[in-house]
Structure 1
Amino acid sequence: MDDGKLTEAAKEKLRLTIERIERLEEEKKEVADQIKDVFAEAKSMGYDTKALRQVIRIRKQDRQEREEAEAILETYLIALGEI
């Protein structure tokens, strides 16, 4: 878009949209830093952070979908002689 084709109202909406995205990006960074701190705290208490991340990922999944994926994984591992 050519700057000359935007009305003042459109320019203002664009500016506000960009500023809103920038604020949300900053909030996202702050939350990511907080999560990092919680993982560091968990590690200092002796928890395995890799396992914690896996538990969190699993808990986000739909139970039925997770069970189906686990069944397929088990089938593959059996076929490969891994279990």
Structure 2
Amino acid sequence: MPTRRRPGRGPDIMDNSIAADQLKAIIERIERLEEEKKALSEDIKDVYGEAKGNGFDTKIIRKIVAIRKQDHAERKEQEAIMELYLEALGMA
């Protein structure tokens, strides 16, 4: 009786050593990238530590980094909504 593939499950690994090799290569690439991501994360942490050591407020720096990632129009819209909410609460 032939084995059936389930839809969306990819190649049948048991019948195809090439697919097993591909899967192994994909997993190894992901693992390498995860290690690189970990190293980059540690580098970023070090830069924030350097900023703090120089007297900068790292919470504000993190907010600025997040703002700089945003699309200009999206940022302006969020700022307008924030201002509206602050005014409604008597905080502006």
Q: Normalising to structure 2: TM-score of the pair? A: 0.84
**TM-fit CA distance, 1:53:** 0.2
Partner of 1:43: 52
RMSD: 1.5
Between Structure 1 and Structure 2, the one with more helix by share is: 1
Calculate percent identity across the aligned residue pairs. Answer: 54
What are the ranges of 5 or more consecutive residues in structure 1 without an aligned counterpart? none
Distance 1:4 1:49 in 2: 48
Which residue, out of 49, 61, 66, partners 1:52? 61
Partner of 1:31: 40
The structure with higher relative contact order (CA 8 Å, sep 6+) is 1
Count of equivalent residues: 82
SS where residue 47 of structure 1 aligns? Answer: coil
What are the ranges of 5 or more consecutive residues in structure 2 without an aligned counterpart? 1-8
**Deviation beyond 6 Å, 4+ runs, structure 1:** none
* 1:73/1:29 CA distance change after superposition, 3 Å: same
